Structure 1
Amino acid sequence: MIKYLTALAAAAAVSLPLAAAAQMDRTPAPEGANVYIITPSDGERVTSPVTVRFGANNVGVAPSGVDHENTGHHHLLVDTGLPNLNSPIPADDNHIHFGGGQTQTTIDLEPGEHTLRLLMGDARHVPHDPPIASATITITVAE
C-alpha cells in the first residue's frame, strides 16, 4: 500500500512540460502501416471462447521491450475505445497485451454484443504516432 501511495504521489508531481515531452516521445508509425482483425468478421455471431486472429501490413511484430525500427506488438481492445495515445496502453480486461509478439488469442466473452479493436504499441506499450489501429468490429456471442 505504501509503495502504491508513493507511486501516486510521484505521478502527481509530474509537471505539464514533462507530460508534453512524453507526447513528443512517441515512436513514428511506419508509412502505410495498418492492423486488422482477420477473424472473427464484423457482425459475426460466435460462441465463447472466441479465437481472434490479428493481421498487420507494413509493420513488423516484435515482443515488447524489443526496440527495432518499424515494429510493435498487438493490444486487443475489448468493449472500449482508444486509450490515451500519449501514455502506455493500460493492462486490464479491456486492454489485452500481447507482448510476446502473438498474432492470435482465444478469449472468453459473456453472451451478447461486444466490440473488438487492435492497437499496435511500441516496445514500451505506447501507441505509435499516428496510432496504428484497426477498425472496430462488433460481434455477438451466442448464449
Structure 2
Amino acid sequence: MRKIILLMLSAALLAFMPALARTPGARTPAPDNAQVYFIWPSDGMTIHGAFWVRMGLRNMGVAPKGTDIANTGHHHLLIDTDLPENMDEPVPSDRKHLHFGAGETEARIELPPGRHTLQLLVADKDHIPHDPPIYSKKITFTVR
C-alpha cells in the first residue's frame, strides 16, 4: 500500500514539474514549430471602414489569460508599432497593443483612414511572450 501511495505522489509531482520549474519572471517555453498568422486582412489590402481581424495559431492552443496549461497562450495585436524591446516583460496594454486575454481569435477594429501596420504576438498566462517569441509577419494595409 505504501508503494502505491509513493507511486501516486511521484506521478503527481512529475505532472506539476513544469509549473514548479518556472521561476517568477522566467519566460514560458514555446512549443516547437508554433506559428501565429493573420487569416484576415492580408498584406497590401485596401479596407473600407471598420473591419474584422481574424487571427490564426498553429501547433499550440489558445487559452485565456491566467490559464496555466503547457503549449497555450493568447493573442496580442500590435497596431502601428514594433515588437516590444523587452520580451521578458508583459506586453504593454494601450491603443497600440490590444490584448485578447479571453482567448478571442477575432476582433472588430476601427482605424482612421490611412496606411497602417498590424502584427500578432502570442503571450502566456501573464502576458509575457514565449521563449522564443511567437509573432507574425508585420502586414501593411490602407484604410479608406
* Superposition TM-score tier, normalisation by shorter sequence: 0.7 to 0.9
Structure 1: which 5+ residue stretches go unaligned? Answer: 1-20
Work out the CA distance in 2 between the residues paired with 1:59 and 1:78: 23
**Equivalent position of 1:121 in the other structure:** 123
Structure with the largest fraction of strand: 2
- 2:101 maps to which of 99, 102, 105: 99
The runs of at least 4 consecutive aligned structure 1 residues that moved more than 6 Å come to none
In terms of Rg, which structure is larger? 2
Q: CA deviation at 1:59?
A: 1.0
Aligned to 1:139: 141
In the alignment, the residues of structure 1 paired with residue 120 and residue 96 of structure 2 have an alpha-carbon distance, to the nearest angstrom, of 11
1:67-82 correspondence to structure 2 within 5 Å:
67-82=68-83
Aligned twin of 2:34: 33
Q: How does 1:51-70 map to 2 (within 5 A)?
A: 51-70=52-71
Q: Which amino acid aligns with 1:106?
A: R
- 1:48 shift after superposition: 2.0
How many residues get paired?
A: 120
CA distance in 1, matches of 2:101, 2:128: 12
Q: TM-score, normalised by structure 2?
A: 0.82
RMSD: 0.9
> What is the Cα deviation at residue 47 of structure 1?
1.5
2:51 corresponding residue in structure 1: 50
For residues 138 and 62 of structure 2, the distance between their equivalents in structure 1, rounded to whole angstroms, comes to: 20
1:132 alignment partner, SS class:
strand
User: What amino acid is the match of 2:31?
Assistant: P
Indicate the percent of aligned positions where both proteins have the same amino acid. 56
CA contact (8 A) 1:48 1:107 kept: no
Q: Does the 8 A contact of 1:41 with 1:137 survive in 2?
A: yes
Deviation at 1:99, TM superposition (A): 0.3
